[in-house]
Amino acid sequence: MEQIVVLYYDYYEQNYGDGFYPITEKSGPCTQSIHIKFQLVGNFWKQMDEIMICGLDGNEGPLLLNKLNGLLYSGIGIKDKYDTILHPKIYSKL
């Protein structure tokens, strides 16, 4: 199953800052929208577009997962196009 969602990002941060960290809601005049395609692969929503999501800050992981799942699906997480888990964040002890 595929879903296309509208996410928002800061163009300057994407190109000159930390990278592409999209958010689920518009947060100001500098925020631009982008359509990102995800596909449910196994139990994870996998990003299918060329631009690579670098990460999901704060509560954006659960918010995006809820947006992708809606009422019909039950994905348990989100991966970027290279299968790196973006949500839920997995921490390891060093």
Please report the pLDDT score of residue 91 as a whole number. Answer: 63
Would you list the domain boundaries of the chain? 2-87
Whole-prediction pTM: 0.87
Contacts of 41 (CB under 8 A, 6+ apart): 79
Burial 28-53 (b: 16+ CB within 10 A, else e): eeeeeeeebebebeeebbbbeeeeeb
- Give the whole-angstrom CA distance, residue 66 versus residue 61: 9
The pLDDT of 61-79, averaged and rounded, is 94
pLDDT band, residue 28 (cuts 50/70/90): confident
